[in-house]
Amino acid sequence: MPMHPLSPLDGRYAKKVAILGEYFSEEALMKARVELEILYFLALSDEAKVKELKRVSNADRTKLMTILEKFGAKDLTMISQFEQKTNHDVKAVEYYLRKKFQSMPSLRKSLSFIHFGLTSEDVNNLAYGILIMRALKEVLKPELKSILAELGGMGRRWKNTELLSLTHGQPATPTTVGKEFLVFHERFNRHIASLYDFRMCGKLGGAVGNFSAHRAAYPEVNWEAFGRKFVRSLGLMPLRYTTQINPHDDLAELSHHFCRINTILLDCSRDLWLYISRGIFTQKKIGSEVGSSTMPHKVNPIDFENAEGNLGISSALFLHFAEKLPISRLQRDLSDSTVQRNIGVAFGHHLLALQSLQKGFRKLQINLKRIRDELDAHPEVRTEAIQTVMRKNGIQDAYEQMKKLTRGEDITRKKLREFVEGVSLPKEEKERLLNLL
């Protein structure tokens, strides 16, 4: 951990989000750039019409892949030293690879084909693309599926547990605890499904997206087909027409996906906070924990509060990505570069929120007595059912009768039973309503 971390993700929460460092740290980005440069070099060597570059042997391919497997702090330092001279991070990667290739006699004559015809953004957008897709697959989607499973489990567990609804903060027709969780489960599931269909895009086309340098050297090569094949080999969706850069509509789409997911989870967090406040749920006590520095009795819903705060920060960043990244002056400007370096920060706060939610879910204990007491205290919420059955049986002013009896009044079960017994209804209908009371 840094001695004086500026961000809580690198300080207080470092251990909780450490796994994201494999995808969004500076080392991860540099390694991905090295990977892209090597894979591109190999793809060029496989293109028969690029005659000056011989096809790389299997032995040398293995050596090149070993560079990736052993990539670590020493390599990062070497790249950093080159960057201090070049003031250009992608060019530093190129020089780093040139030095690595020089240790392989059969590749020394091929140094000029490292980063051949490319612009920095060809490497950068593809590097970010593969890192984001890997993080989604290996970290974020599994965490989201865990949340989905928790919501579904609670929905099934309490599907028949009746609960007083509140609409506009006022007592309303009863629902069930389980159904309220299944509402969030269904909303969440729909957006996770759309996330599974998502793919990052990839741009390969040189300085202004036209393969101009490539064509100048090898006009006989179908570079558009070459580019599409290479981008697909990375698991990304090829972009056909671009400027110097990937226009980042993919990142905007992904950001909007996560904004919607965050919004659903924030809504869930606030509802659970309110259910705990009402006493519908209590929380498992952990003996060593303190709820308040001065009030010994407190067991606060801190997990849902932490989730809410981190979801808000995450969404704020994702919204900025969605609004800023697709806009670039003419062929390009560099303002996207510094913004993209914060992608991991948005995912870090999102991951913290998921962890807090899961911790909060595990502490929930349903308070059946409180639920029964609430329902007993508000028999008037059965009036919707009563007036609807009355309407069914042809009583024209059913709503008005119930309104006159109950609106703003202190109603008891006894009064409602007396009302139902006095209404002209079929015997079986009347008995069914009385059973509700």
Which residues, including other chains, have CB under 8 Å from residue 182's CB and lie 6 or more apart? 151, 152, 155, 159
| 172 beta partners | 165
Nearest to 135 by CA among 285, 260, 258, 272: 258
Query: What are 433's two structure tokens?
Result: 């309503």
- HSE (CB half, 13 Å, CA atoms) of 25? 15
Q: How many of the other CB atoms lie within 10 Å of CB of 420?
A: 21
Q: SS3 for 344-399, per residue?
A: HHHHHHHHHHHHHHHHHHHHEEECHHHHHHHHHHCHHHHHHHHHHHHHHCCCCCHH
Q: Tell me which residues are annotated as active site.
A: 168, 292
**Residue 189 contacts residue 201 (beta carbons within 8 Å):** no
Q: Is 238 helix (H, G, I), strand (E, B) or coil?
A: strand
What is the C-alpha separation between 357 and 150, in angstroms, rounded? 10
Which residues, including other chains, have CB under 8 Å from residue 73's CB and lie 6 or more apart? 27
> What are the strands, taking DSSP E only, across 177-280?
201-202, 237-238
What is the C-alpha separation between 39 and 94, in angstroms, rounded? 13
Nearest to 192 by CA among 135, 141, 123: 141
